[in-house]
Structure 1
């Protein structure tokens, strides 16, 4: 999980669009980290400029999360956050619209 990216829900129950965007961004970063993890695991750390070792192996998952979070924040990620945000807004709108006003 990416700490600090997941918003806490406001007290009214409904999420604001800004908080929803943060949640969508955090989701995209998490998905991207899951996709990048095998690529970094397959890299031969002994041939890196730092020589590998146990310390480098311990920090590698955090490096993957940092890359993923930066890519999601920059908008150069997978393109999921806009789709997720649209869906979240639709679901929230449907849950707050009274039943008799729904099409």
Structure 2
């Protein structure tokens, strides 16, 4: 046992049951999907920054005002349609953390 072991054990908290109720699983899924939607919106945002809002095809000040909301909705829609797999990874990590299992990075993960 190392001197750090008690500190690490305190950080883990009490282990939760590994079986999640349907409501818990749905809440975790929704949180993971919301995270993925936010991530996707942040990745889409630079694509729209350089677009002109000048007439005849731009929406002017209204487009500038509402563009952020449109991008957020695009991220949500992509996530709802299956996303990029980030929500699944986040959900698996959240379940592992709640069940008290150690999260060990795989070979492909950056150190």
Does TM, scored on the shorter chain, surpass 0.5?
yes
Determine the structure 2 residue equivalent to 1:101.
none
Indicate the structure whose relative CO is greater, using CA pairs within 8 Å and at least 6 residues apart.
Answer: 2
Unaligned runs of 5+ in 1: 1-13, 96-103
Q: Secondary structure at the match of 1:44?
A: coil
Q: Of residues 29, 35, 46 in structure 2, which corresponds to 1:21?
A: 29
Moved over 6 A (4+): none
What do you get for the CA RMSD once the two structures are aligned?
Answer: 2.0
Determine the structure 2 residue equivalent to 1:39.
47
In 2: Cα distance, 1:48 partner to 1:29 partner? 31
Number of aligned residue pairs: give it. 80
TM-score, normalising length: structure 1:
0.70
* Higher Rg: 2
* Structure 1 residue 47: Cα displacement: 6.3
In 2: Cα distance, 1:27 partner to 1:80 partner? 8
In 2: Cα distance, 1:31 partner to 1:23 partner? 12
Q: Of residues 49, 62, 68 in structure 1, which corresponds to 2:69?
A: 62
Taking a change above 3 Å as real, the CA distance of residues 54 and 81 of structure 1, as seen in their structure-2 partners, is: same
